[in-house]
Each structure stands twice: as structure tokens, then as C-alpha cells.
């Protein structure tokens, strides 16, 4: 390691120490990105100059920008960024330029870099060197290649949702946004042939960079995990809120959650207790059910010898004439209540109490017995079980009409005269000729 | 029974070259005015008129019998009327129809001129036609003529005198027809027939 390299490394170390004190900044566009190095994956820091890049002449040696990110783990400061810009000549530049001088310079530069890294190898500083030296020679001019690099402005690595909120306040220096890792080969190696091709390539590159975001966007965001503002996204413009299907939640069998509230169950009405003694159904005492001495299979049917009948109607003979009767003459029935009207009584005349007028009628009826009209004495049973004696002198008689002697049939059907309908002209002619014929 | 309808097609043929008329295959016909014929009949005697009409009727009866054949005895009233009326119509003697008053057969002729000679001739014609076709000796008498409709009754010769008496007595043809059916002789004969 020569003195020049040592000097450069010292300058580099000084710059690093100065940068440690500076606040962390994040710039877009062509600005440099200061990325917090992580141990999981090497972070890439694009150290782009703020001023426009002036490309060297084609005949000159093309040096690719080598990005070295050094993370200094200081005790006081947890994470520090070290930005090291080292220009390393590419192979194509070596091929295109002076072979001997270029190779020698390149070897010297590499050796200086290695020495610098070795010298800077401190215990408290962790340096990660990311070499992005391209091995392929650029087929296109450097100007176009620069255009291809320009669109790499890392989009805000926030959520995929676009918010219409005002720009956030300047973040504290500690808040460092971790950019999305971009493949180096894609960034550097592609060199479009024209401006249109460069624009197309830039568009494709941007789209390729946005593909993971789209893939994530395509995934549905659960409603419970969504914390963004409530708004209606345009159709197919972003992640959609997925509402789980309305289905009854599966309740485990041994669920011992809180009991339902009154509002959930509704109003509960308690029934009043019954008043009075409990209802008892007692068997009638008049007809007690006899205990079966024998099993039902051995029982015999024995008809009842005497059925206890209700008291029959008793018609007592009338003591007085028609028009008056005592309570004894009233037929006693089942009506026992005082308010129940008594049934009508049947009154019979006794022979001794028949008035004289009735005797006259009886004599007239007897005189008619000689007439052809048959007079028959009615049966006594027609008047009831307790009719007067059969030997009564005056008994009702039924006068029946004598049977009609049917000498001739009752119905005499006079048939209509049969209409004369001759079947032929000759028949009608003969009938007409026969009129007034003797 | 074969229903042989009356077919007047080609019934009347006029041979202009020969100056001949033929009716139903019978040649030697003459077309004369009705009035002239009526005047002729009016000047003729009854026997002449009857003979004249019977001649024409016999020819008509023969043609009817030829057309109907043996089925003429079973021919219905309508069928026989069709043939007899067709022949009268071809002769220009009016339209014939039949009325049946009980057992009395009444023929109605419409369109015949108001001429006693023509009426007598037509009655003789019908008698001859029936006698020739049906082999029945009948008498056709005039009952009445109202509104151009001449009613003729077909009876036997034994009833001719009685009907003429009733007509002379001024009885209407309805009363005459009723008397024909209420005649005790008829009733007695019918009773005997039924018993």
C-alpha cells in the first residue's frame, strides 16, 4: 500500500466520521439514498451526484460506479451509514482504452481498494462492499445508459394504498426508510438502443418494480387488519375489503361463554302460582269399580239380571172431572227442582164420572154400529198402561171407513188416438178411396 | 227401394227442321195457348173433356210407372208426388202438392187457369194417371179453389154422390172432409176392421 492509497483511505475515513455527525437524509430522484445496512441482506446505496453526470469520453476509461456501503456500528450511535464511492474501471473500458495503462491503473485501483478495506477493518466498523461491476460491455452509448438509470427513483415504500393525506412532516433523522431492494443487474446492465427503447425499458422496469406491489395488492386485505381510512375504493383499483360470509359462527360444544342477556332473550313473564287446592278427580262413589278377582282372561260375561231402572211415569186415575186436578194427579217425573215446571198430565175419565152428555154421544155411537160403516172399539192399550177397565160402558170408538169395492180400476187411461201415417202413396190412396165406402 | 227421382232433363225437345215437339220421348206434341185450350174445353162436353184429359193422364201414368217400376206400390207420397207433379209441370198445368186430411187425400194444384174446362180436364187427367200407374179406380172431385189453389179430393166412386150433395148443401171443404171421417158407415167399417 503506497502512501497515496493510505492518504485516500484516511480521507475516506474522515469523511465517514463527518457523515456520522450529519443527520440522515433521504432524497428522491437523482439524490443519494442512505440506507441502513442490515445484516440479513446487503443494502444498496446509490450514490448519485446531485449535479448532472458528465460522462467521460468513449475513448476514456469507463469507470463504473462502485457502491460501497459501510455501516459503522458505534457504541454511541447504533447504526451509522458510510458512503463510499469508489470508481472502478470496467472490463470493457479496459478493452476499449489503452490496454496496458488501463489494466495497470485498474489493478492499482483494486489493490488500493483492497488495502483500504483492510486498513479500515476496524473492530467497531463493519463495512459491506457491494460491487456492481458489470462484466458485459455496453453496446449503447453512455448517455442512453444514464437515461436507463434515471427513473430509478424508489417509490415510497409505504403501503400499497394511496392516501390523499398531506405530505408527512419531516421525519426525524432516525426514521430511515428502507428502500425496496432492486436487482443490480437490472439497473445497470440494461442499455436501450434509443430514447424510445429507453423509455419503454424504463416503463417496464418500473412496472417490474411495481409487480410485487401489485401482487400484494391483489391479495385481499382482511377487514379486521385494515387500518386505513374508510372510503370506497374505485373498482379494481386496489385491495378490496373482504367481508367474511355471513355464517353462523361455529360454537364449540364446551363453550362456556357469558350467558345471554335479557335483551337477547326477550321479556320473561312469570306465571302466577295456582290459587286453591290442586284438582283431584275422584271416582264416583255410586259405582265403585270392583276389584277383579280373576284375571281378565278368565272373566265370563254375565248379563245383568235386573237393571236398575229409573222410576217410570205413574199415571194416577183422575179424581175429578176435566178442568181440575190435584198435585197427586200430576205425573211425577225426574224433575225434582222446585222451579222445574211439571209435565202435562194425562187425564182419563172414569165411568162413574162421565156426565150425561157423554152418555148421549155413546148412545149415538152405538146406534151407528148398525150402519155399513164399521165401528170398532179401540184397544185399551192405546190409552196407556193404566187405562180404565175394559168393561167400561163408554169407551172411545174409532169409526173406520169401509173398504172400497173396486169393481172397476181406479185409473182409466184414455190413450190418444193413433195418428194415421200412411207409409206409401198407395196406402193413402186406398184409405182415401175407402172413405164413405159401404 | 230405389228412389227414382224425377229428372226433367232433355224432357222437351223441339225439332225445328221437322217442326216437331217431343216430350219425354213421346213425339207429336202441340203447343197451344192456355186460353185457346180453355175456350175449346168450355165448348166441349164433359165426356169430351174427360176423354181428352184421360188420354193425357194415361200417358203420364205410363211414364211414371216406367220410371218407378214395381217399386211404385211402395213409393212414398213425396216420391209419387214428385213424378206426378213433374209431369203436370212439363205439360204446363200448374204446380201440384198434396194435403192429407186424416185419411183423405187432397191434391192441390196451383197455377192452373180459371177455367172449368181446364179443371175438368185436369181431374180426368189425374184419375187416368193414377189408374194407369197404380191400377186403382179412383174419382177426383173438386173441393174448393181459394187464392188460385185448386183442392181436389181423391175418393171412390161411391163417395162421389155424397160429396156432391155436401157441396150442393154449401158445406165448406173442411166440413166435407170432417163428414167423410165422421160418417157412421166409415166408423162402423173401421170398428169391424179393428175388432
pLDDT at A33 over 80: no
Cβ A128 vs Cβ A120: under 8 Å: no
Substitution target in A417, A435, A437, A438 with the highest count of B β-carbons within 10 Å is A435
B79 vs A311: which has the higher pLDDT: B79
- Optimal mutation site among B99, B105, B192, interface A, most CBs of chain A within 10 A: B105
Q: Are A405 and A383 a contacting pair, CB within 8 Å?
A: no
Query: What CA–CA distances, in Å, run from A160 to A40, A156, A166, A241, A363?
Result: 24, 9, 17, 14, 136
**Which burial class, exposed, middle or buried, applies to A241 when counting CB atoms under 10 A from its CB (0-12, 13-18, 19+)?**
middle
Chain-chain contact of B183 with A420 (C-beta, under 8 angstroms): no
Closest-CA distance of chain B to residue A382, Å: 58
Search chain A and give the residue with CA nearest B101. A432
Smallest Cβ–Cβ distance between B154 and the set A429, A437, A438 belongs to A429
What is the pLDDT confidence band of residue B176, given thresholds at 50, 70 and 90?
A: very high
For residue A434, give the chain B residue with the closest CA: B156
Q: Are the beta carbons of B136 and A430 separated by less than 8 Å?
A: yes
Distance from CA of A402 to the nearest CA of B (A): 40
Q: How far is CA B149 from CA A235, A366, B107, B112, in A?
A: 105, 81, 10, 8
- Count of other CB atoms within 10 angstroms of residue A401: 7
Among A253-257, A276-280, A422-426, B190-194, top mean pLDDT goes to: A422-426
What pLDDT, on the 0 to 100 scale, is given for residue A197?
A: 83
- Average pLDDT of chain B is 88
Backbone angles phi, psi at A33, to 5 degrees: -110, 125
Q: How many CB pairs under 8 A join A and B?
A: 81
Residues 6+ apart with CB under 8 A from B92: B34
From A406's Cα to the closest Cα of chain B, the distance in A is 28
Model pLDDT, residue B107 = 95
CB contact under 8 A, B156 and A437: yes
Helix axes A3-21, A99-120, angle to 10 degrees: 50
Q: Which chain A residues in 43-102 lie under 8 Å from chain B, judged by CB atoms?
A: none
C-alpha count within 13 angstroms, C-beta hemisphere, residue B10:
1
- Write out chain A residues lying below 8 Å of B72, CB-based: 426
Q: What DSSP character marks residue B140?
A: E
Burial class (CB within 10 angstroms; exposed 0-12, middle 13-18, buried 19+) of A63: middle
CA A386 – CA A274 distance, rounded (Å): 58
What is the number of other CB atoms lying within 10 angstroms of the CB of residue A313? 15
> Cell 179412383, residue?
B138
Q: For the residues A180-201, what does the mean pLDDT come to? A: 62
Predicted confidence (pLDDT) at residue A22 exceeds the cutoff of 70: yes
The beta-carbon neighbor of B154 closest among A422, A423, A432 is: A432
Q: What are the chain B neighbours of A426 within 8 Å (beta carbons)?
A: 72-75, 80, 134, 136
d(C-alpha A388, C-alpha A67), whole Å: 152
In Å, what is the CA distance from A401 to each residue of A365, A373, A377, A411? 14, 6, 14, 21
pLDDT in tens, A310-367: 555 556 555 555 554 555 544 554 445 455 555 555 545 455 555 555 555 556 655 6
d(CA B172, CA B158): 20
- Chain B CB contacts of A423 below 8 Å: 74, 76
Chain B residue nearest residue A432, CA to CA: B104
Residue of A426, A427, A430, A438 to mutate when probing chain B, most B C-beta within 10 A: A426
Mean pLDDT of all residues belonging to chain A: 59
List CB contacts (< 8 A) between A425 and chain B: 75-77, 79-81, 134
Question: Which has more confidence, A72 or A309?
Answer: A309
Strand blocks (E) in B46-94: none
Residues B28-54 pLDDT 10s: 889 999 999 999 999 999 999 999 999
pLDDT tens by residue, A296-317: 566 666 565 555 555 555 565 5
Greatest Cα pair distance, chain B, in angstroms, is 67
Instruction: State the pLDDT confidence band at A233, using cuts at 50, 70 and 90.
Output: low
**CB-CB neighbors (< 8 A) of B102 in chain A:** 420
Q: Do A431 and B159 touch (CB under 8 A)?
A: no
pLDDT exceeds cutoff 60 at B64? yes
Report residue B184: phi and psi, to 5°.
Answer: -60, -30
Nearest to A432 among B79, B103, B158 (CB): B103
* Better-predicted residue by pLDDT, A280 or B70: B70
CB pair distance less than 8 Å for B155 and A436 = yes
Name the H helices within A50-166. 91-96, 99-120, 142-149
B80 interaction partners in chain A (CB closer than 8 Å)? 425-426
Spatial contact of B100 and A423, defined as CB atoms under 8 Å apart: no
Is the ipTM of this structure higher than 0.90?
A: no
Pick among B100, B140, B152, B177 to test the A interface (most A CBs inside 10 A):
B100
Task: Indicate whether A42 pLDDT > 50.
Answer: no
Read off the pLDDT of residues A377-407 as tens digits, 9 standing for 90 and up: 444 444 444 445 545 566 777 777 777 777 7
Query: Does residue A417 sit at the B interface (CB-CB below 8 Å)?
Result: no
| Predicted local confidence at residue A110, as pLDDT | 65
Chain B residue numbers with beta carbons less than 8 Å from the beta carbon of A434 are 103, 156, 186, 189
Task: Say how far apart CA B80 and CA A426 lie, in whole Å.
Answer: 9
Residue A253 sits at the chain B interface (C-beta within 8 Å): no
The CA distance from A412 to the nearest CA of chain B, in Å, is: 21
CB atoms within 10 A of CB B123: 24
Amino acid at each position: 500500500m503506497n502512501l497515496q492509497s493510505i492518504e485516500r483511505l484516511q480521507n475516506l475515513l474522515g469523511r465517514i466520521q463527518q457523515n456520522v455527525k450529519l443527520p440522515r437524509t433521504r432524497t428522491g430522484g437523482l439524490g443519494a439514498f442512505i440506507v441502513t445496512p442490515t445484516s440479513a441482506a446487503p443494502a444498496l446505496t446509490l450514490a448519485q451526484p446531485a449535479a448532472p453526470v458528465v460522462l467521460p469520453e468513449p475513448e476514456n476509461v469507463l469507470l463504473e460506479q462502485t457502491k460501497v456501503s459501510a455501516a459503522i456500528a458505534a457504541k454511541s450511535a447504533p447504526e451509522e451509514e458510510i458512503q463510499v464511492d469508489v470508481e472502478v474501471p470496467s472490463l470493457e473500458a479496459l478493452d476499449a482504452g489503452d490496454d496496458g495503462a488501463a489494466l495497470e491503473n485498474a489493478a492499482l485501483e483494486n489493490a488500493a481498494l483492497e488495502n483500504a478495506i483492510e486498513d479500515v477493518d476496524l473492530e467497531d466498523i463493519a463495512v459491506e462492499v457491494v460491487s456492481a461491476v458489470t462484466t458485459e460491455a455496453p453496446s449503447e452509448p453512455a448517455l442512453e445508459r444514464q437515461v436507463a438509470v434515471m427513473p430509478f427513483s424508489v417509490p415510497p415504500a409505504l403501503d400499497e394504498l394511496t392516501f390523499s393525506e398531506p405530505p408527512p412532516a419531516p421525519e426525524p433523522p432516525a426514521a430511515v426508510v428502507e428502500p425496496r431492494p432492486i436487482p443490480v443487474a437490472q439497473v445497470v446492465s440494461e442499455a436501450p438502443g434509443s430514447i424510445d427503447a429507453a423509455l419503454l425499458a424504463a416503463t417496464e422496469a418500473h412496472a417490474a418494480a411495481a409487480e410485487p406491489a401489485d401482487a400484494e395488492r391483489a391479495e385481499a386485505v382482511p377487514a379486521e387488519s385494515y387500518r386505513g381510512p374508510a372510503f370506497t375504493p374505485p373498482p379494481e383499483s386496489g385491495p378490496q375489503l373482504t367481508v367474511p360470509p355471513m355464517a353462523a359462527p361455529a360454537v364449540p360444544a364446551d363453550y362456556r361463554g357469558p350467558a345471554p342477556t335479557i335483551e337477547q332473550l326477550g321479556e320473561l313473564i312469570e306465571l302466577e302460582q295456582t290459587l286453591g287446592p290442586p284438582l283431584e278427580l275422584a271416582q264416583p262413589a255410586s259405582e265403585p269399580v270392583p276389584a277383579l278377582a280373576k284375571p281378565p282372561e278368565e272373566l265370563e260375561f254375565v248379563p245383568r239380571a235386573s237393571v236398575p231402572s229409573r222410576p217410570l211415569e205413574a199415571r194416577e186415575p183422575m179424581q175429578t172431572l176435566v178442568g181440575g186436578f190435584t198435585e197427586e194427579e200430576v205425573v211425577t217425573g225426574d224433575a225434582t227442582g222446585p222451579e222445574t215446571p211439571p209435565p202435562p198430565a194425562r187425564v182419563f175419565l172414569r165411568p162413574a164420572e162421565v156426565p150425561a152428555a157423554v152418555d148421549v154421544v155413546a148412545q149415538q155411537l152405538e146406534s151407528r154400529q148398525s150402519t155399513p160403516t164399521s165401528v170398532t172399539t179401540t184397544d185399551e192399550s192405546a190409552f196407556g198402561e193404566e187405562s180404565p177397565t175394559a168393561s167400561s160402558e163408554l169407551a172411545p170408538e174409532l169409526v173406520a171407513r169401509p173398504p172400497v169395492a173396486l169393481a172397476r180400476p181406479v185409473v182409466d187411461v184414455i190413450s190418444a188416438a193413433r195418428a194415421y201415417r200412411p207409409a206409401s202413396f198407395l196406402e193413402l190412396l186406398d184409405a182415401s178411396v175407402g172413405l164413405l165406402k159401404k | 227401394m230405389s228412389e227414382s227421382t224425377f229428372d226433367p232433363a232433355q224432357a222437351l225437345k223441339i225439332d225445328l227442321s221437322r217442326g216437331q215437339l217431343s216430350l219425354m220421348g213421346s213425339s207429336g206434341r202441340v203447343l197451344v195457348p192456355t186460353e185457346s185450350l180453355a175456350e175449346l174445353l168450355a165448348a166441349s162436353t164433359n165426356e169430351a173433356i174427360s176423354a181428352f184429359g184421360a188420354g193425357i193422364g194415361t200417358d203420364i201414368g205410363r211414364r211414371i210407372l216406367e220410371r218407378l217400376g214395381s217399386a211404385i206400390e211402395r213409393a212414398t207420397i213425396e216420391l209419387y208426388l214428385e213424378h206426378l207433379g213433374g209431369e203436370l209441370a212439363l205439360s204446363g198445368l200448374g204446380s201440384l202438392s198434396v194435403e192429407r186430411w186424416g185419411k183423405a187425400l187432397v191434391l192441390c194444384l196451383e197455377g192452373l187457369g180459371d177455367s172449368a174446362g181446364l179443371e175438368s180436364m185436369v181431374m180426368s187427367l189425374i184419375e187416368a194417371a193414377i189408374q194407369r200407374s197404380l191400377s186403382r179406380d179412383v174419382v177426383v172431385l173438386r173441393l174448393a179453389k181459394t187464392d188460385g189453389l185448386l183442392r181436389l179430393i181423391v175418393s171412390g166412386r161411391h163417395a162421389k154422390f155424397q160429396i156432391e150433395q155436401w157441396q150442393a148443401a154449401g158445406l165448406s171443404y173442411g166440413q166435407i172432409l170432417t163428414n167423410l171421417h165422421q160418417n157412421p158407415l166409415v166408423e162402423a167399417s173401421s170398428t169391424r176392421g179393428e175388432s
